[in-house]
Amino acid sequence: MTWLVASALMFAIGAYGVLTRRTAILVFLSIELMLNAAALSLIAFSKLTGGLDAQVVVLFIIAIAAAEVAVGLGLIVAIFRRRETTNVDELRQLRW
């Protein structure tokens, strides 16, 4: 049960970071924290029920998160080289 509380706390911290931070890297790290909190809650529910299915899903989540980190950091570096900023408020011109 403590793992579920820890994952809820991690998710709340990540959501707070997404909503309050203005730097793209910190927003990206907050999203990753939220994804890891979801994986932790899956593991906690798997431990409560005794099944192993959620643990297999978490392995896929970890693989997807690794790919997301590679693509996301590449995009942030490319945007920084072009715009000389990672402030999310100043990058509003990248919208449609």
H or E element, residue 20: helix 2-20
Q: Does the pLDDT of residue 89 top 90, yes or no?
A: no
- Please say if the pLDDT value at position 55 is more than 70: yes
Cα first-last separation, the chain: 44
Could you say which of 2.60.200.20, 3.30.70.20, 1.10.3470.10, 1.10.287.3510 is the CATH number of the domain covering 2-87? 1.10.287.3510
42-60 mean pLDDT: 88
Average pLDDT for 34-56: 90
What's the helix, strand, coil split of the chain in %, to 5? 85, 0, 10
Whether residue 92 has pLDDT greater than 70? yes
